[in-house]
Amino acid sequence: MFRHKGENRTFIHNLRLAVLLSFVAGLVNITGVLALKTLTTNVTGHFAFFAEEIMRHDYNTAITFFFFTIFFLLGSFLSSFLQELISLKNPDWSHIIPITLEMIILMAVSIFGSSTSIFTFEGKWTAFFVLLAMGIQNSLVTNISRATVRTTHLTGLFTDLGIELSQLFFYKKPEEVKKLKASIFLRLAIILFFFLGCFLGGISYKFLEIKTLFIAVFILFLAQWYDYMRLKFHLLKRKTFHL
């Protein structure tokens, strides 16, 4: 799911990655909305808010929205940098540090984060670190899947889905139709599990509040453990076969 890249990746690898991490993104998204009253999985809307506050001459608030984008960018940079650095020695483990870092950040936010407005000091830093974690995840998923899977926002997904649905009327070759339908199914799975993450996260928030992020951490842990066990099994099988 995480280890396979390029030609070694299959549709199933991308589907597993999409289902698990889009669910995580949905959980984080609704937790951010309910706790902080702002989006914490993407930065598209924050540019509009930044421009609005500049026009209103509220520069302190404008700077807050500007830093939202910076922290998401920093997360993306760190994730890609760590993947490239680790890949130089052991490509099979290049995903572990970024995912672990995301887990640590979300766990810290669950423990120390604040469920207050982003206009308070505590609320700002809570949002900053959640956006940092989502930048890490978005970059990781994009690099692993070669931009086939994106999990932290849906705008591009709905655009691609609309394009591919229209192409069904024109693609006639069996191999083209098969590939197109697989891509459509993958995008629908991401949308569905993002929605499920939002829905179940909203229910959990009533009881756990910002500690709902612990569920996201647990899912990331399970995904990493599953991939590790698959690797161990693969190495054991290969060793047995050579013997």
6-242 fold: Growth Hormone; Chain: A; (1.20.1250)
How far is C-alpha 134 from the chain's CA centre?
5
What are the residue ranges spanned by the domains of the chain? 6-242
CB 23 within 8 A of CB 196: yes
How many residues make up the chain in this entry? 243
Instruction: At 222, list the tokens.
Output: 């399970």
pLDDT at 1: 64
Quote the CA–CA distance of 190 and 198 in Å, as a whole number: 12
41: helix, strand or coil: coil
Give the HSE-up count for residue 20: Cα atoms under 13 Å, Cβ half-sphere: 22
Instruction: List average pLDDT for each run of 10 residues in the chain, which is 243 residues long.
Output: 69 88 94 92 87 93 94 96 90 86 96 89 94 94 81 83 93 90 93 95 95 96 84 68 61
Q: What does the block give as tokens for 149?
A: 């899977």
**For residues 73 and 131, what is the distance between their CA atoms, to the nearest angstrom?**
9
Give the three-state DSSP class for 243. Answer: coil
d(CA 149, CA 143): 9
Q: Where are the alpha helices (DSSP H) in the chain?
A: 11-36, 44-55, 59-87, 96-112, 121-145, 155-167, 174-208, 213-242
Which residue type is seen at 198? C
For residues 182 and 11, the answer to whether their CB atoms sit within 8 Å is yes
| Residue 137 near residue 17 (C-beta atoms within 8 A) | no
Structure tokens given for 122: 């505590």
Taking the C-alpha atoms of residue 24 and residue 217, their distance in angstroms, rounded to an integer, is: 8
What local confidence, expressed as pLDDT, does residue 6 receive? 61
Q: What pLDDT is recorded for position 112?
A: 95
